[in-house]
Every structure is written in C-alpha cells, then in structure tokens.
C-alpha cells in the first residue's frame, strides 16, 4: 500500500518496514553493548512503542527485565494536548538502570513528564531510546541517547503509532500527505 486513508485524511508511505528494521537493528546493537553488564529494566511506553520495543528486544542478547508504563497526551488530535496522563502499573525501578523505549519525541512534554516521575522512584540511571524525533517541535529540552530517525514536523502513523487510535497495526510508517516537508 502506497497510501491509506484514516478519518478521511490521506497518509502516504514514508518509511518502509525494511528501512525501519535496519535502523532498529543498529540501535539494538548499541544498546546490547552499552547495557551488557547493567542488568537493565527496559521500560516500554504504551501504546505507540510496542512494535519498536518488540523488534528491538529480539536483538538483545542477555536477560533483561521488561516493564510497562502508559502515557497518553494526544487524544484524537494531531497536536499534543500538553497534559500527560501516566499510568505506572506496578513499576519497580529502584536502584536499577532504566532504558525507556518511546515511539516518538515531539514537543518533549511526555518524555519529560515520564522522566520526572521516574526520578522520584530512585533508579540508578535512566536513558531513552526513541524511534522517531521531531527536533523542530521541541518545547521542553530532553536528553535522548538513542534516536532512530529525525524527521521534520510531520504527523505519522503506523508501526505502533496512531491517529485517533487507528493505523497502529500498519507495518510501514505513513505521513500525512499535506505535512510540510
């Protein structure tokens, strides 16, 4: 499929699953090396990063602890609401080295809010990996140690990411057609 429609909006193919897989393997290799002796907690941020996390984790060669948190900010809009709802389930990261797995860092508000929350739980260290980043949209400065693709101000769906909860299951990533280049 070269294009799809969600809620009457046209999205065109932007990154193929093959391109994504190559990038994910590169990131996984670095993480595999960097966290070798660190017994990390891999913290998957639901829901958008499920595909990224699953593919990445397949390339980690040692045992690691996987935990989940939920973060919601967008609702049905394409702009961040600025308010983040975080659900930490039974998160336990005290004295652990944490690696956060995010789908996309846009304004940075979500990641910043996650980081502030996690720091209170006294982990040894926290690092972040994101598949996509939109540096031009950043409102809050956040450190991201591993980034797959830097993209311009484009709204994307697929590979876990949604528009109004649709499009997550697409294996490629699509971009809204009239997004600015």
Toward ligand IMP, which CB reaches closer, 40 or 108? Answer: 108
**Which distant-in-sequence residues (6+ apart) come within 8 Å of 18 by Cβ?**
none
- Name the active-site residue from 55, 103, 106, 162: 106
CA dihedral angle for residue 155, residue 28, residue 45, residue 92, rounded to 10 degrees:
-160
Toward ligand IMP, which CB reaches closer, 62 or 82? Answer: 82
Active site residue 95: no
Cα distance from N-terminal residue to C-terminal residue, the chain: 21
- Specify the stretch interacting with ligand IMP by CB under 6 A; choose among 9-17, 31-39, 120-128, 153-161: 153-161
- Specify the stretch interacting with Mg ion by CB under 5 A; choose among 29-37, 43-51, 114-122, 168-176: 43-51
Binding flag, residue 11, ligand IMP (CB under 6 A): no
Binding characters for ligand IMP, 39-58, by CB under 6 A (x = yes): ---------x----------
Considering only CA atoms, which of 73, 76, 81 is closest in space to residue 9? 76
Rg (CA), the chain: 16
Toward ligand IMP, which CB reaches closer, 36 or 87? Answer: 87
Binding flag, residue 179, ligand IMP (CB under 6 A): no
- Rounded to an integer, what distance in angstroms lies between the CA atom of residue 179 and that of residue 14? 12
Assigned token pair, 127:
């690092």
Q: Which of 24, 31, 40, 48 binds Mg ion (CB under 5 A)?
A: 48
Residue the block writes with tokens 């660190």: 38
- The helix (run of H) or strand (run of E) holding residue 19 is helix 17-34
Residues that bind ligand IMP (CB under 6 A): 48, 73-74, 80, 102-111, 155-157, 161-162
Residues that bind Mg ion (CB under 5 A): 48, 103
């Amino acid at each position: 499929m070269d294009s799809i429609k969600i809620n009457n909006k046209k999205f065109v193919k932007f990154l193929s699953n093959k391109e994504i897989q190559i990038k994910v393997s590169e990131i996984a290799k670095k993480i595999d090396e960097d966290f070798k002796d660190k017994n990390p907690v891999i913290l998957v941020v639901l829901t958008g990063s499920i595909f990224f996390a699953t593919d990445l984790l397949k390339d980690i060669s040692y045992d690691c602890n996987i935990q989940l948190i939920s973060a919601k900010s967008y609702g049905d809009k394409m702009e961040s609401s600025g308010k983040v709802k975080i659900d930490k389930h039974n998160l336990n990261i005290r004295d652990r080295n944490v690696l956060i797995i995010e789908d996309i860092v846009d304004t940075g508000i979500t990641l910043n809010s996650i980081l502030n929350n996690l720091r209170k739980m006294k982990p040894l260290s926290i690092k972040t990996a994101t598949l996509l980043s939109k540096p031009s949209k950043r409102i809050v400065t956040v450190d991201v140690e591993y980034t797959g693709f830097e993209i311009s101000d484009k709204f994307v769906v697929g590979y876990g990411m949604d528009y109004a909860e649709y499009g997550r299951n697409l294996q490629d990533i699509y971009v809204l057609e009239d997004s600015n280049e």
